[in-house]
Amino acid sequence: MNILISEKVLKALNNNQAVVALESTIISHGMPYPQNVQVALQVEKIIEEEGAVPATIGIINGVAIIGLNKEEIEAFGQRKDILKVSRRDLPYVLSQKKWGATTVAATMILAQKAGIEVFVTGGIGGVHRLGNETFDISADLKELSQTNTTVVCAGVKAILDLKLTLEYLETMGVSVLGYKSNNLAAFYSTDSGLPLDYRMETVQEIANFIKTKRVFKIDGGILISNPIPKKDEIPNEEINKYIEIALKLAQEKNIKGKDITPFLLANIAVLTKQKSLNANIKLIYNNAKLGAQIAKELSKLS
């Protein structure tokens, strides 16, 4: 098997310590260098300060590394030939011994194989706007329906169709939990206005939910919607204006497929004079803290 678990992560798993998985696409495709590396290392630091062990996941020369070291994270931040890897891409990147940055879907797969329950990201992919016509739907959603990983995020990326995404998750039987919120978080904004079925007030409640699902052997992921702190948000009405401009630009340039998300995020950052990038960073830090707390509580129940 083309998987290498770092000594630190393996030791934590064997000792039933809290471990939190992290993706690598956010490093290679989500932010400019050197900010991407700085954020990645700060996320790991936050997780460590909460008493958990971070496990950033990426593929190097066809080997999936569970727990990239600082030098490897630095390399992911600078290399230009790193492929963006989802479920369908994993066999190619592994067999052809390529470098690959894991998306939400691929990180979930590899985290489950390593025995890591909790995974922290920024926002998940979903149904793209006009997805009911184009069928452009992120593989993240199908992965959540079948892979046993708990994903902590600030909801669905705001560039997507949040309502259709939530409908899709419901159809696929994915449990979506709102942390101290009745509604789905909207990435840059705290509240999408879309109601969720389950609100959780404490990490203990979330940990008990996860354990119950696993004990009953109900396969599939769990999505934790953790709103960006109010002081760091960009209100829906403000950010949506910039999203519409970026979407129009993408249409004019015929940007599609896996290139669309990084294109939109980069252009929105320019349009907002980096305000959206700052919000993105703050929500990731917020998710890292919650994810570590959940993982730590879950380790007590195991």
pLDDT (tens digit per residue) in 8-55: 999 999 999 999 999 999 999 988 899 999 999 999 999 999 999 999
Q: What is the pLDDT of residues 85-119, one digit of tens each?
A: 999 999 999 999 999 999 999 999 999 999 999 99
The arithmetic mean of pLDDT across residues 147-169, rounded, is 95
The arithmetic mean of pLDDT across residues 251-269, rounded, is 84
Stated pTM of the model:
0.95
> Does residue 284 have a pLDDT over 70?
yes
In this predicted structure, what is the pLDDT of residue 302? 80
> Does residue 257 have a pLDDT over 80?
no
> Does residue 147 have a pLDDT over 80?
yes
Cα–Cα distance for residue pair 220/189, rounded to 1 Å: 27
For helices 203-215 and 275-301, what crossing angle results, to 10°?
60
In this predicted structure, what is the pLDDT of residue 207? 98
How does residue 183 score in pLDDT terms, banded at 50, 70 and 90? Answer: very high
**How many Å from the N-terminal Cα to the C-terminal Cα in the chain?**
27
In this predicted structure, what is the pLDDT of residue 131? 63
Residues 6+ apart with CB under 8 A from 178: 184, 185, 196, 198, 199, 200, 225
Closest C-alpha to 128, from 272, 267, 235, 243: 243
CATH number for the region 3-301 comes to 3.40.1790.10
The arithmetic mean of pLDDT across residues 58-73, rounded, is 98
In this predicted structure, what is the pLDDT of residue 220? 97
In this predicted structure, what is the pLDDT of residue 133? 66
The residues assigned a catalytic role are 23, 157
How does residue 132 score in pLDDT terms, banded at 50, 70 and 90? Answer: low
In this predicted structure, what is the pLDDT of residue 260? 81
